[in-house]
Structure 1
Amino acid sequence: MNRELYLKVIKIVKNRLFILFLGIVFCFWILAQRLFDLQIVNGEQYASNIQATIVRTISIPSLRGNIYDRYGRPLAVNEPAFNVIFDTNIVNADLNGVIYQLLNTLEKNNESFIDDLPITKDEPFAFTFHSPSSEKCWKVDMGLQKEQLDYTASETIEYLRKFFKIPENLTNIDARNMISIRSAIYMQRYRQYNTITVARDVNQEVVVEMEERNNKYTGIYIDVVPLRSYPEGESFSHILGYISPINEEELKEYEDYGYTKTDLIGKIGIEKAYELTLNGQKGEEVVDVTATGKVMNRVETVSSTNGENVFLTLDSKLQQETANILIENLKDVLIKKLDSGEITIKQLFTSMVESNNISIKKVMNADDEFTQSILKTLILKDNPKFNINKSKDLEKAKEIIINAIEEDAVTTLQFILCLVEQKIISCDEETLMKLHNGTASSYMIIKEKISTNEISPRATNLDPCTGSVSVVDVNSGDVLALVSYPTYDNNMLVNTFNNEYYEQLLNDPTTPLINRPLMERKAPGSTLKMLSAIAGLESGVINPSTKIQDLGIFKSAGLPYAKCLIYSRYGLTHGAVDVSKAIEVSCNYFFYETAYRMGNAKKGTTLNGITTFNDYIKKFGLDDYSGVEIEEYKPKMASPKAKENAIKAIDNNATASQMGWMDGDSIRNAIGQSFNSYTVIHMAKYIATLANGGTRYKLNLVKGTKAANDIEMNKVLPIVEEELNFAPENLEAVFEGMLGVTSGSQGTLRNVFADFPIQVAAKTGTAEESDKRPSHTWFTGFAPYENPQIAIVVMIPFGESSTNIAPQIAKEIFAEYFGLNKEQESPIYENSIN
C-alpha cells in the first residue's frame, strides 16, 4: 500500500503539468510578497513620492553673442546680474504676504520691480494703452466680464483688488503695485512650469536679505543671469538697438525657432537684424522635481549653443569723436546766437517748456518751499481741477508757464532755480548766492551750462539742434561712422523696458528715436551738382572745356524764370564758366543750361532731360536702398510721377497741365531742388562712388560673424553693384571743381579749409523747407584728393545761417580720421576682424 502511494506520488511529481503548477504557485507567491511590501510595509512612503515628484522639461537659455566694432572693441555684451524669479508652480498660501514683503525689500534697497501693469503708477489712475482694442483684450485676459469692460482704471484697480484679495489696509498705490505682480502671475495661469522675472539686476543688499530670509519668500528665488549691456550707450543706440521682452506678434514670427513668451528679442538695429545669429540655440533638461520645485533627478540634458559674435564695420573711437564733434558745433552755434542776441534767455526757456524738457509732473508734485511751487500755483489758479493724465491740461499748463516767463511773472532767476530743482542743471551754493545778490547773471550761468552740456542742444529745441553724419570707406563700402543726434540711451530700454523713459522720447519734438542718417530725407541742394555735371558730360551736351555765360536770369525754360543765386543776392553773375569753375563757385546758371540741353538737344523733348538725369541718379544708387543691414528709408527721386503725386496730395483737382513735367522742373532738379529727397546714407553712397572713380559698392554695417570657439571668421565681403566706367577726363573735371571749392580763389569753402594739411574735395548745399526757419545745410566730400580713402556727408537741419557748421564738422572729422589731432589707438587684435 505504501509502495503504491509512493509510486503515485512519484508519478505526479514527474508529471510536467505538476512542475508547471509549482512554477505558477511560486510566481504568485513572489508577486504577493512584493505587493505586501509596496502596499503594507512601504505603501505610505511610495505614495508620498509618487505625489511629490513631477517630470519637468526645463529650457536652458543660450548666451547671446556679443557685438564688437571693427577692431574688437565691445559694443554689446552680457554682464552677470541677479534676477528675482517667481516660480508659478509652487503653491503659496500667503502669496499676497510674500509679494508685499518682496516689494518692501526692493523699495528699501532702492530697487524696483518689473511693472508691466498698463495703469499709471500714481493717482488718479489712468490706462496707458495706445488703442481701445488693446485695453479690451487685456481686460478679457484678466477675467473681467462683458459688463465690466467699460471700467475706468480706478474701477479696474478696485475690481482686481477684490479679485486678488489685496488687504484693505494697503494704500491704493501699494495695492496697485501688488496687483501688477499678481496680474503677471495670473496671466501665466494656463502655462505650466513657467517662471516670472519679478525684478532684474538687483543689488547685493537685496540678494543677501533674500538669501538670509529665504523662508519668508516661498516660491521666490535669486537667479544669476546674463543681462545685455551697451558700454558705449548713446553713441551706438540707433545702430545697435536693444533687446526687450518678446510680444505676441513677434512670438508668432519666432516660435518655430524655439522662442517662448518669456524670451528677450532684438527690437531694432543690429540686435533685430541679426537676432537669430546672436541668439543661438536653446538647450533642454528633463528633471524630476518635487512639489516645492526641488530637483530630485536629472533625466536627460541637451546643451545649449551660444550665439555668434557680430563684428561691425564701425570704428567706435571715430564714432564717438564724430558724435562729440557734432554736439560741440551745435553748442557753439547756440552760444554764438546767445552772444549776438539772435536768441534770448527767455526764448530758450520757453522753448524748453514747449519741448517738454521741464516736467509738469514734477512741478505739480513740488513742495511749497520749492521755487517750482510758484509755477504750480499759477497752474492751479487757472485750473483747480488740473489732471496730470489729461493731455489738454498738460498743454494748458505749458502755455501758462510760457506766458509767465514772457510777462516776467517768473523771473529768469526763478526759472534757473526750477531747473536746479528738477536736476536738469547743477549749481553750488556759491553760484546760487551770486545769482541772488546779482554778481552772476542768468545769461552767464546758462551759457556755462550749455558749454558743459548740462543744457544740451536737444533740450533747447532751438535751430539748429539736430544733425547726422556718415563716414564711408570709398574703396569697400564699409560704414566707419554713422551718427545721429539727438540720440537716446539704449541701456534704459534693454532687458526691462522703461516705459516712462520711452514716453519722454516719444514726446520729445527733436525726435531722438529717429535714426537720422537712415531715416531723415531732405532735398540735397547743390550737393547734386556733381551728378548733374557727370550727366551732362557723359551724355555729351557739355565737355570739360565747355563754357557757359552766366546771364543771371535763365529764361529758356519759361516762366517763372530761374535765377543764379549770386544774381538774386547781389545782382551779379559768374561770367563765362566751365564745369569745374561752375562747381567751385556753385553757379546755378551753368547747371540750368546743362539740364536744359539734356532735354532739348538734338530735337529732344522736355521729358528727355529728366529721363537722362535719372539714368545717372540710378547709376549712383540714389534710386534704391544703400544696402546697410538695418532699417532705412528708400530715397525719393524726382520724376514726372513724383511731381504728379506731390501736387495731387495738395490739390486733388489739379489739371494735367499743372501736374505735367516741364523744362522748369528739369533745370531746378539739376541744382538739387524739385522732388528729390535723400538721407545722409544715400548721399554717402553717391559721394563714395564718385570718389573712387565709379565703382558703386553696397554699403555695409556688418564686417562679419564668428562663433565663440571658431578660429575662422565668416566675413562679409565687399559687393560691387556696378562699375560705371566714366570717362577719366570727365571725372577729373568734376574733381577739380570739388577741390576748387576748398582751395580755389573763389571756392565757397576756401576759408574753412585754409591751411588744412590734407587736400579735400567737397561741395555744400542748402535746401529750404520753411520760410520761417533757416534752410537745411549739407556737406559732401572726400579725402585725400589724390588718393581718396573716406567720404563724409554731414546734414544739419535748419542750420544754414550757422557759420558753415556742416563744413566745420566735416573738417574736424577729417582731422580726427587722419590723425591730425592725436595718436591713433592700437586696435585690440585678439578680437579684431582684420
Structure 2
Amino acid sequence: MLDIIFDKIKETVTSRVFAITMIYLVLVGGLIYRMFYLQIIHGEEYQKKYESSQTHTRAIKATRGNIYDKNGKLLAENVLTYSVIFQDYGKLTEASDINDMVANMIKLIEKNNDTIDVEFGLKLNDEGKIVYAVSGNKKKRFLKDAYSNEKLTDKELSVSAEDAYEFINYSTDTNSPKFNVDKKKYSKEMQFKITAIRYAMYMNRYSKYKQLTIASDVNEKTVAAIEENSADLKGVSIMEDTRRVYHCSTSMAHILGYTGSVGSTSLKEQGLDEEKYTSNDQIGKSGIEKEYEDYLHGTMGQEEVTLNNKKAITKIEVTKEPVAGKDVYLTIDADLQEATYKMLEEHIAGILLSKIEAGGDFSIKMTDVYYALLNNVIDVMKFSEKDASDLEKSIYNTYKHERSSVFDRLDTVLGFNSKENYNTLNKDYQDYTVYIYRLLGNKGVLLKDKIDKNDATYKKYVKDKISLSEFLQYAISKEWIDRSKFSDTDGYYSSEEIYAKMIQYTKKLLKNDSTFNKKVYKNLVASQKITGTQISLLLFEQGVIKYNKDEVAKLKSGAISASSFIRGKIKKLKITPGQLGLDPSSGSVVVTDSNSGEVRAMVSYPGYDNNKLANKIDADYYSLLTTSTASPLINRPVQQRTAPGSTYKLLTSVAGLTEGVITPSTTFNCTGKFDKFAANNPACWRKSGHGKLNVVGGIKNSCNVFFYNVGWKLSLVNGKYNSNVGLKKLKKYAEMFGFDAPSGVGFGEYQPKISDEYSVPSAIGQGTNAYTPTQINRYTDAVANKGTVYDLSIVDKIKTSSGKVVKNFNSKVHNKITTVADSTWSLVHQGAYQVVNDSNLKGLFSKATVEVAGKTGTAQEQTTRPDHALFTSFAPYDNPKVAVTAVIPHGYTSSYAAEIAGKVYQYMYPEPGTKKKHLIKNEAVTPKASASHD
C-alpha cells in the first residue's frame, strides 16, 4: 500500500504539471507578499511618495516699475486684468476631446469680443491662405520645433507654410505633433485657431506645471463665461494679471515706448537672463521701457509646485516673494510735452490748410488730399469683403475695371515690338513704366549691378530714346536679367519666348503689389473717376469720422462740396496732418535746460497710441502705422537728420572770430551773389543783396554772402583757396559744440554728420552737414551758456517702490569750450537777439514775458518738395535758462518753425492772467508768419 502511495507521489512530483504548479504557487506567493509589503508595511510611505512624486520651481511674476515725469505725474503704470490660462492636468488624452475643448474655449472668448493671443509661426492671410508669420531666424526656430529636429534638411527649411501646417496636424511621421483637427467639423479659420493653441500646448509639454496664457486682458463677460463652463474646460481657468497703461500716450509715445511679450523666441537668443525672465514676461520693446528695462523689470519670486504621477498639482508653496521693479523719474515736464505736441499739430495743420490750392511752388492739389485719405486713412481692403457697403463695392468695381484697362494698355506698351518710349506715354503710364523698372530691380529680375552704365543702349533708355520693351530685350541679350526668376534656364527658348515669360511674370508681380495697386487708385482720384464726395462719405462709413446725418445728406445732395467738407475737418483736426502724410505732416520740438542738459520736452509729431502696442499688439493699428506715409513710428528728435541750414551760422561766426579771419568790425558787401569762384557762384537768399554787414548784421539778416566769405577766408592758405583747410577748421568747431557725437539722450539716436565737402556752402550749414534736432539743441545750449556742452539727459532718478532713491542721474559735461573769447560770445548773442527782436519775427514772441534770442534755418533736401524749416533759440536773453529747437520737415519757411517756438515760450512764460489751457486751440491755427527770414 505504501509502495503504491510512494509511486503516486513520485509520479506527481516528477510530472511537468507539478513543476508548473509549484512555479505558479511561488509566483503567487511572491505577489501576495509584495502586495502585503507595499500596502500594509509601507503603504502610508508609498502613498505619500505617489501623491508628491515631483516638485518643480515656478516663477512668480514681479510687478513692473512705474514711470513718472519730473513733477511726479504718473505716465506708465500697471492695472489689474484677467487672463485665460491653460494648465495641462492630463485629464484629456484623446486628440478629438482636446480639440473640442479648445474649440469651445475659443467660442466663449470670441463671443465676448476678446481674442486669443498665443504665438504661432503661421497665420491666415486676408485671402484665407496659410502663410508664415515669422521670417529669418524666427522661422528657422519655429520649423526646428515643429519638426522636432535641430538639424533641418534643406527640404524642411524650404517647406511651404501649408505643408508645415499639414505636417503639424496630420502627418504620420513620428515627429509630428498629430493634432488631427477635424476638417469636416470645423471651419478653416477655427481649424487654424485650434491648431495655434494646440501648438502652444505642445511647446509647453515638458513643463506642464507652467501656466500657458491663451487670452490676456479679457473682459468680465469672458471671465464669467469661462468660470461658468469650467466643468467642460479641463485645465482652463482665469488668472489675475496686469496690463501696462500709458497716460499722455500720443504725445509721450516715442519717449515712453511700450512693452510686449518675450514671446516664443528663446531667452538666450534675445539676450535675456533665464534667472530673471520667463517666456510669459513683458519686456520693454522701445523707449524708456526698453532703455531702462533692467530697473523697471523687477525680480521674480519663486514657488514650489508639487505634482503627483498624473502631473496634477497637489501643493503650491511660495519660497521667494517677488520684488517690484523700480520707478523711473524723467526730466520731462509732461504738461509742457502735451501742450507742445498739441500746439505743433495745430500749427502744422494751419500750414497745410494754407497750401491747399494756394497756387505757387508746392501748392497742394485737392485731389492729392483725397488720395492721401484713400492711401493712409481709408481701408481699401474692406472694399472687396463680403460685407462691404454699396459704396465700397461701387468704388471697388471702378478700380477693377480701371486695373483691367491698365493691364490691357501695358500689354501694348510692353509688347515685343513696342517702340513707345517714355516721352510718347501719358503721365500715368510714364509713372507705371518707371515703377515697373524699379520693381524688376528690387525683385532681382533686373540685375542692376551688372548693367554697364556706359553702354550706348542703356544711355539711350536713360535719355528716353528707346522704349522699356526694347531695353528689357537688350538686357536679356546682355545677361542683365536673371532668367531663373521666371523661366527654366535649362530649356531652349527664343528671345521672344523669354521676353514673353518675363512680362507674364512681371504682370503677376504687379497684380499682387500694393504699391502698384495704389497707383491705380491715385490715377482714378486724379481723373475724378473716384470723387471727393465718395471719399468723404467713406470716412463716415468706415468710422474715421463720427457719423453725422446732416453732413451725409449735404454731401449726397451737393449742398456742401467735398473740398469744403474736408477742409473743415482738417480745420477742426478731425482729420490731422499725421493722417494725411502730405507736406508738411511731421515735426519736432526739443526743450532743454541750458545749464544742465536736462530735457523738458522732446516732441515727435505725429505720435501714436502706445496703449495699442503694449501688452499685445493691435495688428491692424500697427499695420496702419507702418504703412503711413507720415511714418509715425519715427522718433524724429533723434532719428531724423537734416542739414542745419542757417542755424549753423552761429557756429561759423564763432569759428571766424576765434580763428581771426574776421573781427567785430569786418564787413562784407552782399550784392546778392558770392563772387570768389570763377563759375557757379552761390547766391544769397535775398537776391537784391543786403549791402555791407558786420558779423552781428550777418547773423541778424542771415546773409549767405557774409558767411560764404567767412568760409572762404577759413579756407585760405597763403592767399589761395583750399576747401579741405576750411572744412578742417569748421570741423574743429563743430566738434567743440558736440557735433562729433550723439547728444546723449539715447533712443537709438542717429550719429551726427559733420560736412566733409565744399567749405563755402558748409559755412552756411549746407555741404554734407546733417544733425538731429536734439544735436542742434545741445549746440544751442552751449551758445546760450557760453561754452559748456552738456550731454542731454531725460532720466532724473530711479526709486524703489517704497520711495528710496537708488540712483541719481547728474548732469554730464561733454565738452567745455575754453578758447572762445567773452567778446565773441557777446557778438553772437547780439546777432541772435536781433534775429528775433529786430525783424518781422518779433510779433511771434511778443506774448512771452521773456526776451528770446535765436536763429532761423532753411534746408533744401529735394527740389521736388518744400524746404525744411528750422529755428533754434534760447531765453531769457540776459540769463539763459532754456533752449528751444523746432524743426518742421518740408515746412516751407523757417519763420513757420519760429512761430511754433514762440508758442512754446508763451506757454512756459505766459503773460499775467493767461490760462495755459487757452493756448491750446484744438483746431488748425493759420500761420502769422509769411516770408522766410533766410
* TM-score, structure 2 as length reference: 0.77
Residue 358 (structure 2) aligns with? 340
Q: 1:414 to 1:562 in 2, by over 3 A?
A: closer
SS of 2:686's equivalent in the other structure is helix
Match of 1:275 among 282, 293, 296: 293
Residue 806 (structure 1) aligns with? 897
Structure 2 residue 649 is matched with structure 1 residue 529: yes
Inter-partner Cα distance in structure 2 for 1:388 and 1:737: 61
Match of 1:112 among 98, 111, 115: 115
Inter-partner Cα distance in structure 1 for 2:678 and 2:206: 74
Amino acid paired to 2:514: L
Inter-partner Cα distance in structure 1 for 2:386 and 2:546: 18
Residue 209 (structure 2) aligns with? 193
Q: How far off its partner does 1:493 sit?
A: 1.6
Amino acid paired to 2:694: D
Contact 1:362 1:422 (C-alpha < 8 Å) held by counterparts: no
Contact 1:599 1:610 (C-alpha < 8 Å) held by counterparts: yes
Contact 1:775 1:799 (C-alpha < 8 Å) held by counterparts: yes
Match of 1:716 among 804, 809, 829: 809
Structure 2 residue 123 is matched with structure 1 residue 124: no
Structure 2 residue 231 is matched with structure 1 residue 223: no
Contact 1:366 1:372 (C-alpha < 8 Å) held by counterparts: no
Deviation by residue 1:192-233 (Cα, 9 ceiling, x = unmatched): 533221111101111122223221221111111122111221
After TM superposition, the structure 1 = structure 2 runs for residues 277-292 of structure 1, keeping only pairs within 5 Å, are 277-290=295-308
142-151 or 590-599, larger mean C-alpha shift: 142-151
Match of 1:819 among 903, 910, 928: 910
Q: How far off its partner does 1:410 sit?
A: 2.4
Match of 1:251 among 268, 277, 286: 268
Amino acid paired to 1:523: A
Structure 2 residue 61 is matched with structure 1 residue 55: no
Q: 1:136 to 1:631 in 2, by over 3 A?
A: closer
Deviation by residue 1:86-135 (Cα, 9 ceiling, x = unmatched): 11454423221221111111111111110533313543314244646644
Amino acid paired to 1:459: Q
Contact 1:270 1:629 (C-alpha < 8 Å) held by counterparts: no
Residue 165 (structure 1) aligns with? 180
Structure 2 residue 586 is matched with structure 1 residue 583: no
313-322 or 344-353, larger mean C-alpha shift: 344-353
* TM-score, structure 1 as length reference: 0.86
Inter-partner Cα distance in structure 2 for 1:125 and 1:384: 24
Inter-partner Cα distance in structure 1 for 2:725 and 2:389: 73
Unaligned segments of structure 2, at least 5 residues:
1-32, 171-177, 408-506, 918-934
Structure 2 residue 365 is matched with structure 1 residue 370: no
Q: How far off its partner does 1:150 sit?
A: 4.8
816-825 or 85-94, larger mean C-alpha shift: 816-825
Amino acid paired to 1:483: V
Inter-partner Cα distance in structure 2 for 1:629 and 1:618: 19
Inter-partner Cα distance in structure 2 for 1:593 and 1:521: 26
Q: How far off its partner does 1:407 sit?
A: 2.4
Deviation by residue 1:662-713 (Cα, 9 ceiling, x = unmatched): xxx1111110010100000000100011111111111101001011124345
Inter-partner Cα distance in structure 1 for 2:791 and 2:771: 16
Deviation by residue 1:578-612 (Cα, 9 ceiling, x = unmatched): 11111111111111111222222666872332222
After TM superposition, the structure 1 = structure 2 runs for residues 426-437 of structure 1, keeping only pairs within 5 Å, are 426-437=546-557
Inter-partner Cα distance in structure 2 for 1:316 and 1:756: 20
Q: How far off its partner does 1:450 sit?
A: 1.3
Deviation by residue 1:414-441 (Cα, 9 ceiling, x = unmatched): 2212222222223311111112222222
Inter-partner Cα distance in structure 2 for 1:413 and 1:700: 49
Amino acid paired to 1:67: I
Residue 826 (structure 2) aligns with? 732
Inter-partner Cα distance in structure 2 for 1:82 and 1:153: 33
Q: How far off its partner does 1:276 sit?
A: 0.9
Contact 2:337 2:600 (C-alpha < 8 Å) held by counterparts: yes
Deviation by residue 1:775-814 (Cα, 9 ceiling, x = unmatched): 111011111111111111111111115x832111111011
Amino acid paired to 1:408: Q
Residue 610 (structure 1) aligns with? 727
Computed over aligned residues only, the root mean square deviation of the Cα atoms, in angstroms, reads 2.9
Inter-partner Cα distance in structure 2 for 1:318 and 1:224: 36
Contact 1:743 1:754 (C-alpha < 8 Å) held by counterparts: no
Structure 2 residue 468 is matched with structure 1 residue 447: no
Residue 623 (structure 1) aligns with? 740
Contact 1:53 1:291 (C-alpha < 8 Å) held by counterparts: yes
Q: How far off its partner does 1:768 sit?
A: 0.8
Structure 2 residue 146 is matched with structure 1 residue 142: yes
Q: How far off its partner does 1:34 sit?
A: 14
SS of 1:637's equivalent in the other structure is coil
Residue 320 (structure 1) aligns with? 338
SS of 2:272's equivalent in the other structure is helix
SS of 2:863's equivalent in the other structure is coil
Contact 1:242 1:268 (C-alpha < 8 Å) held by counterparts: yes
After TM superposition, the structure 1 = structure 2 runs for residues 776-787 of structure 1, keeping only pairs within 5 Å, are 776-787=868-879
Residue 79 (structure 2) aligns with? 79
Q: 1:77 to 1:390 in 2, by over 3 A?
A: farther
Contact 1:478 1:701 (C-alpha < 8 Å) held by counterparts: yes
Residue 427 (structure 2) aligns with? none
Residue 699 (structure 1) aligns with? 792
Q: How far off its partner does 1:298 sit?
A: 4.7
Q: How far off its partner does 1:508 sit?
A: 1.9
Deviation by residue 1:233-284 (Cα, 9 ceiling, x = unmatched): 1211111111112253753412255323222211221111111111121121
Q: 1:714 to 1:358 in 2, by over 3 A?
A: same
Residue 378 (structure 2) aligns with? 358
After TM superposition, the structure 1 = structure 2 runs for residues 646-725 of structure 1, keeping only pairs within 5 Å, are 665-712=758-805, 714-725=807-818
Residue 174 (structure 2) aligns with? none
Q: 1:504 to 1:632 in 2, by over 3 A?
A: same
Structure 2 residue 662 is matched with structure 1 residue 542: yes
454-463 or 730-739, larger mean C-alpha shift: 454-463
Inter-partner Cα distance in structure 2 for 1:722 and 1:560: 38
Contact 1:126 1:152 (C-alpha < 8 Å) held by counterparts: no
Contact 1:251 1:259 (C-alpha < 8 Å) held by counterparts: no
Inter-partner Cα distance in structure 2 for 1:787 and 1:758: 10
Q: 1:790 to 1:140 in 2, by over 3 A?
A: same
SS of 1:336's equivalent in the other structure is helix
Q: 1:391 to 1:48 in 2, by over 3 A?
A: farther
SS of 2:57's equivalent in the other structure is strand
Structure 2 residue 755 is matched with structure 1 residue 638: yes
SS of 1:124's equivalent in the other structure is coil
Inter-partner Cα distance in structure 1 for 2:888 and 2:548: 35
After TM superposition, the structure 1 = structure 2 runs for residues 758-773 of structure 1, keeping only pairs within 5 Å, are 758-773=850-865
Q: How many residues align?
A: 762
Amino acid paired to 2:865: R
Identical amino acids, percent of aligned pairs = 32
Unaligned segments of structure 1, at least 5 residues:
1-32, 644-664, 826-834
Q: How far off its partner does 1:301 sit?
A: 0.7
Residue 832 (structure 1) aligns with? none
Contact 1:123 1:173 (C-alpha < 8 Å) held by counterparts: no
Contact 2:209 2:313 (C-alpha < 8 Å) held by counterparts: no
Inter-partner Cα distance in structure 1 for 2:865 and 2:78: 45
